[in-house]
Chain A
Amino acid sequence: MAIDVTTLSTTRRRFLKGTGAALAASAASGLCLPALAQAQEITIISNLSNVGQRDILHRLAAEYEAKSGAKVTINNMDHEAHKTAIRSYLVVGAPDICFWFSGNRMKAFVNKGLFDDISDLFARENFKSVLGATTSAVTVGDKQYGLPMGGLLWGLFYRKDVFAEHNWTPPKTWTDLLAFGEAAKSAGMIPMSMGTKELWPAGGWFDHMNLRINGLDKHIALMDGKVQYTDPMLTPVFDKWNDLIKAGFFSPNHSSFGWEQAGAALAQKKAAMLDLGGFVRSAFPEADVPQLAYAPFPEVVPGVARYEDFSVNSIHVPANAKNKQGARDFLAYFYKPENLGAFLAAEGAIPPRNDCPPSKDPLVNAAVEELKKVVGTSQYYDRDTDPDMAQEGMTGLQEFMVKPERREQILERLEKTRKRIFG
C-alpha cells in the first residue's frame, strides 16, 4: 500500500473504515468455525470434589481416547456451583455426559424432558442383572434415565480408640443414647458433633429420627408432601429431638460452621460421634482413618424396622447432548466393573454393581454388610423432597436446633410452604 500525503491527512477516517472492515471480516470467519469441529467428540461436565476421583476419570478418558479414537473433554465444576449451573446448561449448551443425583432430583429433570432415556444402553450392556434393586434409583416409569454411581450410607461415626479408652459401645437404643450422651459430657466431649452452616446435616438428623419413629412409608409420604408438617405423627420426633438439644448433645454454635469442622472435632477427639456419610474420612488425617468406625443410628421406637438414608449419585446423558451415541459408548466403558470399582474406591462409596472387585476399605465393606440388614431406604432430606421445600425445611430444622422453643411457629411456616408447593 502506497502512503501519500492524502492518506496521512485522513488517518482517522481510514482508521474507522479499516476497523469496520476488520470487524466484518472477523464476524464472517466466526460463522464458519463450528464446521471445523470434530465429529467424534464427547464432552463431560463433572462435579467431583475428590482429587483422587478426578484423576481416575481423566485416566479412564485417556484410555478410552486411545482405544476408540474419540476425543473426550472433561470440564470439572465446583460441587455446589454445579447444582445451580446444571439447570441452565441442560437447556442451553448441554454436554454429552453429566454428573447428578438419582431419585427425586433426577426425576425433576426427567419430567422436564432434559435427561435422555438410556434404557437401550441398559438392555445392550445387561446392566439390570448386575445392578439389581439399585436400578430403581434411576428408573422413572419403567425407563432408565441414568447410571447409578456410588452410594452413601448415612449413620453415626466414631473413633475406635476413643471408645476403647472410655469403654464405650455404640448406643443401640434411645436409653443407651441418652446414657452415652451423659458419659461423653462427663468425659469433657461433645456427644454429637454437628455443623449446620450448610443446613443439610440438620435435615439428615431429622430423617434418622423420623425413620426410627414413624418408619419409611410415613417418612416418604411427608417428603412427597402428602403429610402435613403440623401432623401429630411428628410430635414425638420433635419431643425427643428437643430432649437431646436440652441435654446439650450437639456442638455449641453449630450454625457457624460446616461438616468439615464438625468432622475435625471428631478427629481431634473433641466430640464423640458424628452423623454423616463415609466421606467423613476426608476430615481425618491419613494416619487416623483406620480409627474411624461406623454404627447405625440407634433404635428409637422398639419394633420399627431398620430404614436408612442411602443416597445414590448418578451419571446422565442430557436430552440435548450432541453425541448421544458416543456418550453411551463411553459410559459402557466407564461402567466396566474394574473401572467403576477404581473410580468409586477413591471416594469410599459403595459400588452399585454387584460384580465390582471387593473393596480394600474396611469402612466400605462395613457399609456393604450393614446395607444387607436394612429393610428399606430413603435418599436424604434434600434429595427426597421438592428442592423448594427442602430449602425452607432445612432452614426451619436449623432454627429448631438453635431455638427449640419456636417449634410451633417453625412447623406452621413449613406447613404453609408445603401447602404452597404440593397443594
Chain B
Amino acid sequence: MPRFWRRNRHWMTPALLLLPGLILFSLVILAASFETVWISLLDWDGIGAKTWVGLANYVELAEDPQFYVSLKNNIIWLLIFMLAPPIGLALALIVNQQIGGMRILKSLFFVPLVLATVTVGVVFGWVYDPTYGLLQLIFGLFGGTAPALLSDENFATFAVATAGLWPQIAFCMVLFLAGLNNLNEDLIGAGRVDGARGWRMLRHVVLPQLSQVGFIAIAVTVIGALRSFDMVAVMTTGGPYGSSTVLAYQMYEESIFSYRFGYGAAIATVLFAIMIVFIAWYLRGLIKAERSNA
C-alpha cells in the first residue's frame, strides 16, 4: 500500500482533491443539462407518463407569441445591462480618489451588492408604486403624476431591468476598483514624465491596463442579464399579462404553473443555446489571457 501510494500519488492527490467537485458538477450541471434537453423532446406534466413528441415543443415555441415577447425582453435587459460596466467604471474612478469622506461614499455604493436581489426587487416595487412610491413623490413635487410603470406593458420591462441594473453597477464598480488597485505604478510614473495627465492619462495609460477587468465585467453582465429571473418574479410576475416575462421566467411559468415540463425544458434549452455563445466567448477570452500571461 505505501509503495503503491508513493508511486502514484503525483496524480492521485490532485485527482482525489478534484473528485468531489467533479462529481457535483457532473451531477448537478452536466447531467441536469442533458436531462433538460431530453425532457424538451417529451410531453410531460412532471408526474405522469412521458410521451415522445420529437421536436413538437420547439415547433410550438416558434409559433408562440409569448416566446418572442420574452426574447425581446431579454434583449432589452441585455441592452440596459450594458450600461453597468461604463457606469461602474466611472463610479470606480470617482470613489478611487484620495479625498476625505470617500470611504463612506465607497461603502454606500457597495450597499446594493450586499442586498439579495429579491430585496432589491421589493424595494424598487415600492419606489414605483403609483400611489405611495418615491417616484410619485418626486413627480408630485413638480405637480405631475408618475406613470404606473409596472402595470404598463411598454414600461414594465424597462422598469424591472433598471432595478436590476442598480446592483449590477455596484458589482462592476467593485471589479474596476480591484483593477485600479493593481495598476502598474511604473507605467503611470512613466506616463507622467511624458506629460500625460487627465483624460490622456486615463485613455492611454489607465484604461489599457483595465482591459482584462473590463472584459470580465462585460461577460458577467451579459450572463447576468440573460439569467434574470428573480427580479421579474418579485416585481411583476411577468405581468401585466405576460408583457414583462423573460425566457427564464417563462420557462418557470410553463413548467410550474402550467405543468408543461417538456415545453419549459424546450425554453430552457433555447436559453442555454443563447448563453453558450456568450460563455464560449468568455472562456475564449479567459484562456487567451492566461496564455498571454504565461
A254 proximity list for chain B (CB < 8 A): 151
**CA gap between A199 and B258 in the complex, in Å:** 14
Report A419 CB to chain B, min CB distance, Å.
12
The chain A residue with its CB closest to the CB of B258 is A388
**Residue among A88, A90, A387 with the highest chain B CB neighbour number at 10 A:** A387
Interface membership of chain A positions 152-189, coded 1 if the CB is closer than 8 angstroms to chain B and 0 otherwise: 00000000000000000000000000000000000000
Q: Are B257's CB and A387's CB within 8 A?
A: yes
Stretch of A273-281, A287-295, A392-400 on the interface side:
A392-400
Q: A252-B148, A387-B257 are in contact. Are A91 and B47 (CB under 8 A)?
A: yes
Interface membership of chain B positions 109-151, coded 1 if the CB is closer than 8 angstroms to chain A and 0 otherwise: 0000000000000000000111000000000000000001011
The residues of B that contact A257 with a CB separation of less than 8 Å are 129
- Asked if A84 contacts B256 (CB within 8 A), the reply is yes
Bound-complex Cα distance A252 to B2 (A): 78
Residues from chain B with Cβ under 8 Å of A84 in the complex:
256-257
B242 lies within 8 A of chain A by Cβ? yes
Please report whether the interface of chain B is mostly helix, strand, loop or mixed according to DSSP.
loop
Of chain B, the residue at the smallest CB distance from A398 is B241
Q: Please, which residues of chain A bring their CB within 8 A of the CB of B13? A: 12, 16
Instruction: Please give the distance in Å from A78's CB to the nearest CB on chain B.
Output: 13
- Chain A residues lying within 8 Å of B65, measured Cβ to Cβ, are 413
Whether A388 and B151, one on each chain, are in contact in the complex, defined by CB atoms closer than 8 angstroms, is no
Q: What count of chain B residues pass the 8 Å CB interface test?
A: 28
In the complex, the chain B residue whose C-beta lies closest to that of A254 is: B151
C-alpha spacing A199/B236, complex, angstroms? 11
Interface of A is mostly: helix
Q: How far is the CA of A395 from the CA of B238 in the complex (A)?
A: 10
Asked if B278 lies at the interface with its beta carbon under 8 angstroms from chain A, I say no
Q: Does A359 contact B (CB under 8 A)?
A: no
Q: A178-213 toward B: CB 8 Å interface, digit per residue (1/0)?
A: 000000000000000000011100000000000000
A13 within 8 A of B: yes
List of A residues within 8 angstroms of B151 by Cβ = 253-256, 402
Contact of A253 among B9, B148, B237, B256 (CB under 8 A): B148
Minimal beta-carbon separation of B239 from chain A (angstroms):
5
Measured between beta carbons, the chain B residues less than 8 angstroms from A398 are 239-241
Residues of B within 8 A of A106 (CB): none
The CA-CA distance from A253 to B155 in the complex, in Å, is: 13
Whose C-beta in chain B lies nearest to the C-beta of A382? Answer: B257
A87, B239: Cβ atoms closer than 8 Å: no
**What is the CB-to-nearest-CB distance from A47 to chain B, in angstroms, rounded to a whole number?**
16
| A255 partner, pick from B2, B5, B241, B258, beta carbons under 8 A | B241
Write the chain B residue with the least CB distance to A396.
B241
B47 touches A255 (CB 8 A): no
Q: Which of A197, A255, A256, A387 contacts B259 (CB 8 A)?
A: A387
Query: Which residue in chain A gives the minimum CB-CB distance to B260?
Result: A388
Distance to closest chain B CB from A190 (angstroms): 12
B240 x A387 contact (CB < 8 A):
no
B258 and A387: CB pair below 8 A?
yes
* B46 and A87 contact, CB distance less than 8 A: yes
User: B242 and A197: CB pair below 8 A?
Assistant: no
Kindly state the interface size class of chain A when it binds its partner: 20 to 34
State A398–B244 Cα separation when bound (angstroms): 14
Q: Which residues of chain A in 207-263 are interfacial with respect to chain B, using CB atoms and an 8 Å cutoff?
A: 252-257
Is B105 at the interface (CB under 8 A from chain A)? Answer: no
Q: Is B240 within 8 A of A402, CB to CB?
A: yes
Contact with B along A370-405 (1 / 0, CB 8 A): 000000000000000001100110011011001000
Indicate if B100 sits at the interface (CB-CB under 8 A). Answer: no
Q: Does B31 sit at the interface, judged by CB under 8 A?
A: no
Asked whether B230 is an interface residue with its Cβ less than 8 Å from the other chain, the reply is: no
Contact residues in A for B128 (Cβ distance below 8 Å): 256
What is the minimal beta-carbon distance from A197 to any residue of chain B, in angstroms? 6
Chain A contacts of B47 at CB under 8 A?
87, 90-91, 112, 114
Contact A388 B241 (CB under 8 A): no
- Interface residues in B136-181 (C-beta closer than 8 Å to A): 148, 150-151, 153
The one of A16, A87, A88 that contacts B16, using a Cβ cutoff of 8 Å: A16
Which residues from A are CB-within-8-Å of B48? 112
Say which residue of B2, B241, B253, B256 sits within 8 Å of A399 (CB atoms). B241
Within 8 A of B (CB), among A1-50: 12-13, 16
Give the distance to chain A from B129, nearest Cβ to Cβ, in Å: 8
Quick one: closest A residue to B2, CB to CB? A13
Residue of B nearest to A406 (CB): B241
Verify A391–B240 contact, CB threshold 8 A: no
Instruction: Report chain B residues within 8 Å CB of A395.
Output: 239, 241-242
Point out the residues of chain A lying under 8 angstroms from B256, CB to CB.
84
A13→B153 CA distance, assembly (Å): 64
CB distance from B260 to the nearest CB of A (A): 6
Determine how close the nearest CB of chain B comes to the CB of A392; give it in whole angstroms. 7
CA distance A13 to B3 in the complex (A): 12
Closest to B243 in A: A399
A88 to B47, CA, bound (A): 8
Contacts of A387 in B (CB 8 A): 257-259
Cβ A197 vs Cβ B241 within 8 A: no
Query: In the assembly, what is the distance between CA of A250 and CA of B150, in Å?
Result: 17
Q: How far is the CA of A252 from the CA of B147 in the complex (A)?
A: 11
Given contacts A91-B47, A112-B47, A391-B253, contact A255 B239 (CB under 8 A): yes
| A41-70 CB contacts (< 8 Å) to partner B | none
- From 75 to 116 in chain A, residues with beta carbon under 8 angstroms from any chain B beta carbon are 84, 87-88, 90-91, 112, 114
Q: Could you tell me if B16 and A399 are in contact, using CB atoms closer than 8 angstroms?
A: no
A225 to B256, CA, bound (A): 21
Closest Cβ–Cβ distance, residue B173 to chain A (whole Å): 31
A398→B241 CA distance, assembly (Å):
6
Question: Knowing A13-B5, A387-B258, A388-B260 touch, does A256 contact B150 (C-beta < 8 A)?
Answer: yes
B1-34 vs A, Cβ < 8 Å mask (1 yes, 0 no)? 0100100010001001000000000000000000
Alpha-carbon distance between A257 and B242 when the two chains are bound, in angstroms: 15
Interface flags for A299-316 (1: CB within 8 Å of B; 0: not) read: 000000000000000000
- Asked if A391 and B5 sit within 8 Å, CB to CB, the answer is no
Measured CB to CB, the closest approach of chain A to B169, in angstroms, equals: 25
Q: Jot down 12 A-B pairs with beta carbons below 8 A, ordered by A.
A: A12-B13, A16-B16, A87-B259, A112-B47, A114-B47, A253-B148, A255-B239, A256-B130, A256-B148, A256-B150, A387-B258, A396-B241
| 17 extra A-B contacts, CB within 8 A, seeds A255-B151, A391-B257 | A13-B2, A13-B5, A16-B13, A84-B257, A91-B47, A112-B48, A198-B237, A252-B130, A253-B151, A256-B129, A256-B148, A257-B129, A387-B259, A388-B259, A391-B258, A396-B241, A399-B240
